[in-house]
Amino acid sequence: MTTRLNTTVSLTEPADVLAAVPHMLGFHPTDSLVVLTLHDLAFTPRFGVTLRTDLPCSMQICGFGEHLLSGPLGRQRMEAVMFVVVGSEPSADACDDNCAGGCRRPLLNGPDVAEDDTGPPHADLIDVVRDSFHRAGIVTAHAMWAPEIRAGARWRCYSDPECSGEIPDPKSSPVAAAMAAAGVVTFGSRDELRALVAPESSQAVARWSAKLDALAEERLEDDDPARVRRDVQLVLAAIQRAASGSALTEDDRLRVLLAVSDTRVRDIALGTALGDTARAAEELWLALVRNAPTPELPEVAALLAFSAYLRGEGALAGVALERIEQTQPDHQLGSLLRQAIEAGLPPAELAVIARDAAEDARILLEEDGAW
């Protein structure tokens, strides 16, 4: 995840970095390996991308560093990294009987070994990934373990038995304050984040589906080429109303949802993430995602993912994309956004893509006489 802030926060102590991890990810990780990239070491070092992955099972440890570098981390041009292990349990899905990853290297220091006796859990994992990154010319600045990221939890370093301490309250950290000022929310867990974009209820989705069927029948009778332009105006007007504090009715939201289901309207609506009404637009997309039936879900979820990523909330963007992938795995815009997140594409570069997509959509509509 990449996080945009309009201020600079200095983190000089390992405990402060640990307290900042949930805010850098967007949620509190559990049983995870977190990798924080570091850049500009010769000047003022800064954090870049923060990546979280499930703890691997023992069969997957060999080659795990190369696996990380072959993904989004390999494109970051980082000079150094910090590794943070949170918890001790490997991913249950990764450790089933059908696991096919890597060589069968024994877990030298895993969850069944008391950390007080032999050091922090998963020392073998840290050794493997540190060696892989070293061979790639990337320095390991620090490697730490904590059972969880919470106030008072004990943390330890992997390289020095004397390096340890207690995590300060993550809610009171400088990063938490900066995130709150920027309007960025840190969730208690990834499941809590998923619940934010989950269907409100099966009854609500069924009701919306029936109403959308009726609205779609009305639209079949309207073959005016200018309808697309009216749909764009309808969407922008609804966002303006929401931004001014006016409540939208359910029928208003249904018409917006139906409008953005047209990819031409959706592409132009991407531009709403760039203006003064961006937060109002994102709140509207979120409300629609929670009630959208399957046919209408992918386009509005893509709008939510795009808006969230531009604000630096990569975790929210990620769970919105999960909804698309569960519904329509080959969705074009969803796939492009997933690639952007995995590549750590800066939000500013994605904003340029959005402007181009909106302009292309307008040009096509003008050529078709629909604008």
pLDDT of residue 312: 78
Q: How many CB atoms lie within 10 A of CB 348?
A: 9
pLDDT of residue 101: 42
Q: Where are the domains of the chain?
A: 14-187, 194-367
pLDDT of residue 113: 39
- The per-residue pLDDT for range 69-107, each reduced to its tens digit, is 887 777 778 999 999 999 988 866 656 644 444 433 334
Ranges of residues in the chain with a pLDDT under 70 are 1-9, 91-117, 180-183, 220-225, 361, 364-371
pLDDT of residue 366: 66
Q: Which residues fall within 8 angstroms of residue 112, CB to CB, at 6 or more apart? A: none
Global model pTM greater than 0.85: no
- Burial (Cβ within 10 Å: 0-12, 13-18, ≥19) of residue 194: middle
Q: How far apart are CA 322 and CA 136, in angstroms?
A: 31
